[in-house]
A and B are shown apart, each in its own frame.
Chain A
Amino acid sequence: MSLIKGETGEWEIVIGLEVHAQVISRSKLFSGAATDFGADPNTQVSLVDAAMPGMLPVLNRECVAQAVRTGLGLNAKINHESVFERKNYFYPDLPQGYQISQYEKPIVGEGVISIDLADGATKQIGIERLHLEQDAGKSLHDQDPRKTFVDLNRSGVALMEIVSRPDMRSAEEAGAYLRKLRTILRYLGTCDGNMEEGSMRCDVNLSLRRPGGPLGTRTETKNVNSIRFVMQAIEYEARRQMEILESGGTIVQETRLFDARKGESRSMRSKEDAHDYRYFPDPDLLPLELEGDWVESLKAALPELPDVKKARFMADFGLSAYDAGVLVAEQANAAFYERVLQGPKGRRDPKLAANWVTGNYFGALNASGHSLESAPVDAAKLGGLLDLVADGTVSSRLAKEVFEAMWESGKEAAVIVEEKGLKQITDSGAIEAIVDDIIARNPGQVEQYAGGANPKVLGWFVGQVMKASQGKANPGQVNGILKRKLGG
């Protein structure tokens, strides 16, 4: 149990997260305007999006499919009948004066996802529901001292609101939940999870309670746009609430805004009346009914999801939970790894491949800023290098040098080994010659080794042989031959 300690005792943090995920679709939820990011203002706005008089909504089938796919990916109940309702309020970037959303009957019901914690443990976090709704436009308050500028390009884009159960108990768990959710959405292709661009936003609901005690009053911190900020906002809010409670105060149920620069949140301008959204079923739309066959066909076409893929990597390839976890975090990375495994003569060594992919390869990607698509070394080339390591053509240590050269030149491993003459020396005769030479020239060390009494000296001899052979001698063989010749 992760608790925070105050002066009067311990507190348990209770966290629920509401994530708004922009649906990947060509056009909007109820209009045929485009959804691309970054267009000139009001150029991706239809008359429906602008809420002109007499305009009416028409539902996008693909957005429905994306919501169902997401529900399936969250192991959740798909509701075959759901209803669109109007959420009524006034704001300049809400042209209709209402948002078309879902209230009593959302398209997806309860589900669960499993999150991975730092200590290797896993925890189940419940999903309460997922529903479809319209995004609002953008209000820019910083373009002019006295005016707010309104761009409706985003108005009407489909959002999935994913509400978790209040099952998280720490910033770490919240971070793990968001990372896992993001991975699932990206695997499914239903949302790109890009928090910086705003295609995934998070509201944090947080309250404190005494362990085993009743739930406390919660606050909501809205629109936090990175996982790091979510964790910071949680830390801040938990501390803020604890200070109030410890001094005998009560928590005001309110909405807060997180200021990333200051690392703190402040209360939003309080409204005299709590929001009364006057939800009612949208009379321009009938209830949405899903056919069982259609849902089944969506299910059948889902890609292998991260948990299943991770379990398969562990079972079939013998990878550790950690390595498998790293590889499946991004679907493209996992696919890359599996391509690396495909050798011309059958499957390559999965553990060797995993080490190289997660270590050297990902390291090179990060350092160079390349993507998988643009990288100078592709899966086939990396596999080629692994083959040379596996059959002893090049030693592991020199393979690193080969890899760097491959990265710089784009050439195949075999070509570089040939060009640089890095082929591993495995001919025992040749190695023996070098060993004999080193032994002959270092009688003092031979004496120190004393036939095995000082095993550390062997290491020195190995180093000398490696240096004399420009690192090409097979270390295993060098070891064996040295021992034999030095005796012991």
Chain B
Amino acid sequence: MAALTHLGLAEARDLLVRKELSSVELTEAHVRAVAAARGLNAFITETPDQAMAAARESDGRRAKGEAGLLDGLPIAIKDLFCTRGVKTTAGSRILGNFVPPYESTVTANLWRAGAVMLGKTNLDEFAMGSSNMTSAFGGVENPWRRRGDNRPLVPGGSSGGSAAAVAARIALGATGTDTGGSIRQPAAFSGITGLKPTYGRCSRWGVIAFASSLDQPGPMGRSVRDCALLLGGMAGHDPKDSTSVPRPVPDYEAALSGDIRGLTVGIPKEYRVDGMSAEIERLWDQGIDWLKAAGANVREVSLPHTTYALPTYYIIAPAEASSNLARYDGVRYGLREPGEGTLESLYETTRAAGFGDEVKRRILIGTYVLSAGYYDAYYNKARQVRSLIARDFARAFAEVDVLLTPTAPTAAFAMGENMDDPVAMYLNDVFTVPASLAGLPGLSLPAGLSGEGLPLGLQLIGRAFDEETVIRVGGVLEAAAAFDALPPGLEA
């Protein structure tokens, strides 16, 4: 048997089901791996005792024949999900030592399915970023390095800790959240698979809010199958979330039929952007060939408003965030700085001390675009353009079943790069933001290596609530790409 930490999530599940493995063995191996990999800084809080206790309980359930969908599988949870009794930080100082007396719906679903929590992973502060560099708990190291260069690289963001944990083989899978690309882009940078479900598929109750009309929890794993399995345990209607859609959860693993003959794949021409690296274009073309070879029809489509997606996102997301983050005021929980002893100075100094620079930047932008005199020119205008972007996708999906694009314009960059100009950092999201604005499901999977030996991802975008087609095509693409490279030092 391969090292326990090198198993896939579904693979481990099969071994547990066949009783060839116990959860205690599996979890113990991962608890040790997490401790050994602290240099990556992927975890903010480790929960080894809780994990072992859960593993024992899981083995007990399995012995009685009462095992659930994810029973006994050790996974990591992005520190944006509120977990009862376990410190939750959102990667920020402002939550102080906040310990939620409640459990998010998604994680409650996972525990009900029997999953085991290894700990809370690091992230860009309040999910705002594409590098994990904005975390108050320090950056996360990507387990991948450029060939012949040992400068540490970013894992992407905002779900950087989850991506690194899965890539470094210290968790079998992880939860992330995706607002403008925060699952897909780190998945691409870290050589793993990540899925942003349709908006409304997974509940946002108990997920610390960044941009309410965009945030969506989703799975991160080392294969499409693993993501499908994890998504099944996360998804479902929640009456406590008014934007949660009451649709039944299908068996996503069953979608992996391996057969995409007759399906039509769209290639959006506007995604061929200036400054895109040649090797990413080549990989994209390679992806097209793989899908053709598997029997799909491939055609070009047009999403004319693509170029306006980033500025639209950077109006809407900060606007919603500026309001969502107003509750962090030092009154009822989290950090409190006394200022000069007045209420107003308490607010101002608490928030100044508690929020990092990127969060402050976005709060200020958001406040500005909503303020008197600017609402129509910015916020309302952005909502109109968002309608047009959604309409572009709807028109395309009248002709095709799924879209294929690159996930990110570059491979992972070095820690500290791109920090001088906020806009340069925002451009990382150019391929992922449009699907977020339209609320559509998007999957990223590793399809090849760059010239420097770094993973490159391809993205599949599907119709609303058609994760099954995205998963089906993803499975075929994954098989064709046969990506089996490992981060340095992890060769089994």
Contact = CB atoms under 8 A, between A and B. Distances in A.
Interface of A: 47, 50-59, 86, 88, 90, 92, 95-98, 148, 150, 276, 278-280, 283-286
Contacts of B202: none
Interface in B314-329: 319-320, 322-323, 325-327, 329
Contact of A53 (B100, B242, B243, B370): B100
Contacts of A279: 370, 375
B240 A56 contact: yes
A97 B343 contact: no
18 contacts: A47-B101, A50-B332, A51-B327, A52-B102, A53-B327, A54-B208, A54-B209, A56-B241, A58-B239, A58-B241, A86-B323, A88-B322, A88-B370, A95-B332, A278-B372, A279-B375, A280-B319, A285-B242
A344 to B, nearest CB: 54
Contacts of A57: 242
Interface residues of B, number: 43
Contacts of B343: 92, 148
A283 to B, nearest CB: 4
Given A283-B213, A286-B242, A98 B371 contact: no
Given A150-B331, A278-B371, A280-B379, A53 B320 contact: no
Given A53-B98, A59-B242, A278-B371, A90 B319 contact: no
A97 B327 contact: yes
A53 B208 CA distance: 5
Interface in B153-195: none
Nearest to A58: B242
Nearest to B320: A283
Contact of A54 (B104, B239, B322, B367): B104
A391 to B, nearest CB: 64
B333 interface: yes
Interface in B276-329: 319-320, 322-323, 325-327, 329
B465 interface: no
A284 B242 contact: yes
Interface of B: 81-82, 88, 90, 95, 98, 100-102, 104, 204-209, 211-213, 239-243, 319-320, 322-323, 325-327, 329, 331-333, 343, 347, 367, 370-372, 375, 379
The 8 closest A-B pairs by CB, nearest first: A97-B326, A283-B212, A278-B370, A283-B213, A54-B206, A51-B327, A53-B208, A276-B372
Given A97-B327, A148-B343, A55 B98 contact: no
Contacts of A90: 326, 329, 347
B349 to A, nearest CB: 13
Given A55-B206, A96-B326, 14 more contacts: A53-B95, A53-B98, A54-B100, A56-B204, A86-B323, A95-B327, A97-B326, A150-B331, A276-B371, A278-B323, A278-B370, A278-B372, A283-B320, A284-B212
Contacts of B320: 283
A86 B95 CA distance: 23
A98 B321 CA distance: 12
Nearest to A31: B240
Nearest to A275: B372
Interface SS majority for chain A = loop
B428 to A, nearest CB: 24
A278 B98 CA distance: 29
A53 B83 CA distance: 11
A51, A52, A86, A276 pick with most chain B CB within 10 angstroms: A52
Contact of B88 (A53, A284, A285): A53
A304 B240 CA distance: 37
A476 B210 CA distance: 87
B213, B367, B370 pick with most chain A CB within 10 angstroms: B370
A53 B79 CA distance: 12
A86 B209 CA distance: 15
Contacts of A278: 322-323, 367, 370-372, 375
Contacts of A47: 101-102
Contacts of B205: 54-56
Contact of B323 (A53, A55, A88): A88
A280 B242 contact: no
B375 A280 contact: yes
Interface SS majority for chain B = loop
Contacts of A51: 327, 332
A53 B326 contact: no
Nearest to B325: A97
A55, A57, A148, A285 pick with most chain B CB within 10 angstroms: A55
Contacts of A276: 371-372
A54 B326 contact: no
Given A88-B323, A96-B327, A286 B371 contact: no
A54 B207 contact: yes
A289 B122 CA distance: 41
Contacts of B371: 276, 278
A97 B323 contact: yes
A474 B319 CA distance: 84
A328 to B, nearest CB: 41
A8 to B, nearest CB: 37
A53 B372 contact: no
Contacts of B331: 92, 95, 150
Nearest to B374: A278
B240 A88 contact: no
Given A57-B242, A148-B343, A286-B243, A97 B329 contact: yes
A99 to B, nearest CB: 11
A394 to B, nearest CB: 65
Contacts of B329: 90, 97
Contacts of A53: 82, 88, 90, 95, 98, 100, 208-209, 327, 333
A52 B333 contact: yes
Nearest to A51: B327
Contacts of A98: 323, 326
Contacts of B319: 280
A285 B243 CA distance: 7
B446 to A, nearest CB: 31
A52 B243 CA distance: 18
A47 B101 CA distance: 9
Contacts of A97: 323, 325-327, 329
B90 to A, nearest CB: 7
A163 B81 CA distance: 41
A287 to B, nearest CB: 11
Nearest to A48: B240
Contacts of B375: 278-280
Nearest to B243: A284
A54 B83 CA distance: 11
Contacts of A283: 211-213, 243, 320
A52 B100 contact: yes
Contacts of B95: 53
A64 to B, nearest CB: 13
A63 to B, nearest CB: 14
A98 B333 CA distance: 17
Contacts of B241: 56, 58
A416 to B, nearest CB: 61
Contacts of A92: 331, 343
B243 to A, nearest CB: 6
A47 to B, nearest CB: 6
Contacts of B81: 54
Contacts of B88: 53
Contacts of A58: 239-242
A97 B239 CA distance: 24
Contacts of B326: 88, 90, 96-98
A276 B333 CA distance: 26
Contacts of B206: 54-55
A51 to B, nearest CB: 4
A155 to B, nearest CB: 11
Contacts of B325: 97
A92 B211 CA distance: 23
A315 to B, nearest CB: 48
A56 B102 contact: no
